[in-house]
Amino acid sequence: MRWGDMDAYGHINNVQIVRILEEARIAAFGPPRGPGLPGIEPPVSLFNDIPEGTLALIVEHKIRYVRTLEYRNVPAVVQLWVGAIKGASFDIHYLVQDPVTREDCVRATSHLAFVDEATGRVLRLTPEQKEKLDRFTPVPAEPAKPVP
């Protein structure tokens, strides 16, 4: 969190929350192609491994502000995981927590798709992309067994 991220109420402004989500997404999956030099290799090299001429675009954000995220001079805690993986798109889920109290402050989802830059058409996810994403999808809980 940065000092300039605060609003007049002393908590992190909603616009800056979207920036925090972006920074977490880039830290986890790498930057989209474009200007700039690569830095540290991300845990999942997804966005920087897409073919030339492919854009990684946000289709939709859903954000639920559970409680205000107060400014602290330490980074917020952001948990990130992959949700639904569809034929041509996928969801990234976030949980933003206060770094001191560990209280949940924001729950959010970004829906993403890869788009051909020349045609503007959405591209199907490749089996390799789906495999990379699938590793970060939570394992569903086993269904409860009926008690006799």
Domain 3-33+43-134, CATH homologous superfamily name and number: Hotdog Thioesterase (3.10.129.10)
Q: pTM higher than 0.85 for the full model?
A: no
Distance of CA 41 to the CA centre of its chain: 17
Please give the Cα distance from 80 to 103 (Å, whole number): 16
Distance of CA 105 to the CA centre of its chain: 16
Per DSSP, the three-state class of 121 is coil
Instruction: Give residue-wise pLDDT tens across range 12-67.
Output: 778 888 999 998 988 888 776 655 555 666 667 777 778 888 888 999 999 999 99
Instruction: Give residue-wise pLDDT tens across range 124-142.
Output: 999 998 988 888 888 665 5
Q: For residue 3, with 0-12 CB atoms within 10 Å meaning exposed, 13-18 middle and 19 or more buried, which class applies?
A: exposed
Q: Where are the domains of the chain?
A: 3-33+43-134
